[in-house]
Every structure is written in C-alpha cells, then in structure tokens.
Structure 1
Amino acid sequence: MKSMTGYAKVEKVSEKFKVSCEIKTLNSKGLDVFVGVPYYLSSKEIKINRIIANRIKRGKAYLRLNVKFLTPVDLNIDYVMAKSYFESLESLREQLGIQNLLSVGDLLIFKEIFRGDFSDEVVEELWEFSESVILDTLKRLVDEREKEGQKLFVELNDMIQKMKEIVESISSLSFKLKGEIAKKIRENVEEILPEKVELDVNQFETAVALIADKADIREEIARLKSHLTRLEELIRSDEPVGTLLNFLTQEVHREFNTILSKSRMLEITNYALEGKYINSQLKEQVQNIE
C-alpha cells in the first residue's frame, strides 16, 4: 500500500550535462501529471507522462527538470526581441528621469532573447541522460510513498480491528434484543392499563414480534462483517486500492446509520456511534492512499 503524497529529488552529472529532477505528489481522485522541462526537451513531455503513469496510478504529480550544460553550446540571439526590450527600457529610463545609461547587462535578465541551437543528436543524448535521472527520481519517490503507506497501514488496521470488536459487541447484544423489547412493552403497558386488566398473551407476543422484526439488525451486522473483512484484504494488497477503500468506508457508514435508526437498545446505539466515529477517521486516512 502506498501513500499518494511524496517527494524526491535526484541530481546527476556527466561530462556534458548536469541534470536535476524534482517530483512531488499530492492527493487526487485520479492521476494528474504536470511536467516542467526546458524548451529543448518539450518534445519529450508525452514520454515523461507515460513514464510517470507506469509507476504512479493515482495522485497529482508535479515534475520539474533542470538542465545545465557543462560544455559550450551554440546560441541564437533574437536581435528583434533584444531591440524591443532595449527601447522599452530606454523609454522607461527617460520617463522616470534615471540618469544611469543602459548596458548589455540590463538585457541579460530576459532569457528569451537567447536560445540554444541544439542538434537532434545533442537533444537525444541529453534526453537519454535525463531519462535515467527521471527514473531514479521516480524510484526514490515510490520508495517514499511505500514507507508512508506502511505507516498508514498500521493506523488503518488498528481502526478496522476496533470496528470488528464493536460489531461483535453489537452482534452479542442483538440476541438480547427481543427480550429487551418485550420487557419495555410490558413495562409501558402496565403503566397505562388498570391493575386488574390482564394482558392478552397472543396480542402481546404479536406486538413484540412486529417491533422486533423492525428492529432486526442481523443483515446489517452480516454486511458489516463482510465489509470489514474486505477492508482487511485490501490494505494488504500490492495493488492501488484507495478508490475501493473509499467506497467501502461509505458502505460501512451506511450500515452503522441503519443500525442507529433501528436501535431499541442504548448499548447498541452507543456502540454504533463509536463505530461510525472510527469509520469517519478511517475514511479521512483513506484519502491519502493510492
């Protein structure tokens, strides 16, 4: 089991390049990939998306690739763009009454004026090296997500075990339900009827049976046990299970709610409320799982 949140950074140096890759991932309903690379590697963005999608199934992934050339490269200078910037700066200087004259250094901050002239061979060589950096970064990221996932596993398993104990307690109490209903009905009737009036046994049993049938929670208990067993299986799976876990927590929530609506015993109500609270914590943590 993996967490959806993670961060990794790797930097590698060759004779010609220094490449650093930084990836961070956040929670998301699906997989959303955002890639930032230098313009001369923009043709590789689709490949990068595929590489990420093969290793991450869910979450928002932000990748940034930085490249530094360690050997001289040919540059193209956009003289038209440079002249436009210079004239705009000169106009600004005159309008503001700045005495200092402009220099070439003032234009160096506009990086779009200078573009490297890279051959296809250089781009492919750089991509081959950059791809290895990306793969190493992804491996480190996945390792971090797995470590965080193991911490989440411990918490989730503890919550599931607590809910299983609660359901067993509710199940034990459910066998006493009919007797409790009969006792309450008898007490209520005796308060209402005159002392000399005797209860009709058949009518009494029928009333108890009807109310007990409406308060029967055996199906809800069976479904809860099934859902909790499935939750245990999923958190031990090697596959991405976050979406399934989220769905099951909704089903568990529904069963506890139904038990609360049917409950005729304070003890069952208290247990169901506790189970519902723990399940809400479980649901919150599940949002972090891939």
Structure 2
Amino acid sequence: MTQQNIFVEGVQFMKRLLPASSILFLTACSSDTSSEDPVIHVAAASGLYHAFSEIGEQFEAETGTEVVFSFGSTGQFTQHIREGASYDLFAAAQESYIDQLNEEDLIDESTRRLYAYGRIGFMYEGDIPDGMTPDYLLSDEVEQIAIANPSHAPYGMAARQALETWGIWEEVEDKLVFGDNIRQTVQYVESGNADTAISALALSYETNLSFDLIDETLHEPLAQSLAVPTAGEHPEEAAQLIEFIFSEAGRTIMESYGFTPPDED
C-alpha cells in the first residue's frame, strides 16, 4: 500500500484538501497520483491509526483504490470540514460531531453510521503492583498525566469525565499535559514527558507500555460514527470503503484492536 501519511506531532496536514486561508497542523499528504484509479482521502480520529491503516491496506489490495489517511483530533477535523476541507470520508471518535455536521448540511446523512465503541485506559512504563488507581494518580509518583485536549478530542473528554467521576479532577489538574489528539498522549509517555496517559485501548496493541482499562461506566460512551462529507470528490469509492469497514474482514480488524462493534446487521 502506498499511503503517504507522515506523522507530525500526532496530527496530519492535507494540503490539497484545505482552504488557502486555513492554517492547519496536519500531516502532509501528496495529491492524487496520475493513476487512473481514484485516491480517496479519509479524516479519521487518531485512535483509529492502527486499525484503519490495516483496513486501508486490505481495501486497496481488493479494490485497487488507494486510501490516504489523515489521523488527528475529531474536533479539529470537524472545523476543517466547516472551512471547506474536501475529505471523502470522516470517521469521528464521537457521534455528536457527525450530528453537528449533519445539522449544517455538511455530510450526506444517508451515509451516517455508527461503526464502533471505543475504550480508554491508563498507559505507563513498567509495572505497578495494584495498577494505576485514582490514589496512585494523586501520589508523588505521578508528576504528569497526559490526556487529549478535552475541548476538541472525544477521548480527552472521556478522560476528564472519568477523573471527575472519581472526584479528583481538580486535584490532578496541575499535573495534566494536553495532547492535540489521543495518539500524542502515547508519545508523551514513550518520550518520558508524562508518567502516564489516559489513552485509547486501540493504541495499546502496538506499544510496549502497560495498559489498565478504565471502567466504561465512568464516562459517556465513546460512540464513534462516520459519514461522507458533501464536499468529498469520490463519494462512490467512499461508500465502498464504508461497506468494507462493516464487512466481516473490517469488523474482524476493528475488534482485534479493542473496538466494540455496534449492534446492527
């Protein structure tokens, strides 16, 4: 597969897709190649990095259609679409963002589908006898806690909700380090710039970090939806990719990275 996504600080910049007036911190992706087959551009929540990269490879192998991904913050991608970015498919980490775009007539409502539920947990180096707990977060052993920015990242909002449910948000607020998206929180721990991160289960499969799952009742469900933006240039190919995501092969890949499939036929 010839995906051309170079990761820069956890976000990607798609020069072809953006209005000239926008200044966006995303990974550079080249424009469509001279191939007769179309190239479809997908904006995807960063927690989908491993799962969608694998799905994209299989989809291209079966169809010949190249998929170029931009992985980043759901809230930031939502704003980019409002500004005219012509993504062919948008896979959000929280369905409320798809709802917002639908209300603004910026997606094809008929393509809107719930594709997965996500989970969060603690990532950290080494072993902790009792695992990462609220009390341990309050201890001097933890100086910095990385979470995705709750203002535009659904996984970051879920992390905040969990900390608030535990009643320790204000106590740990000074320890928090905000990533632009959920994948950047993992990088903070891997680089030693944070002692732990509240990150995505889906990102724990390609790292040597320890991972402790957080009870999903501590935060609102991470109901993840996708849709085809009305500004996209290849709606038919995007629809084919959606069908592949919901196929047996696509679902198997999603489940292998810890995503819970929706209850639909």
Structure (1/2) with the larger helix percentage: 1
Relative to the length of structure 1, the TM-score reads 0.22
Relative to the length of structure 2, the TM-score reads 0.24
Structure (1/2) with the larger strand percentage: 2
Larger-gyration structure (1/2): 1
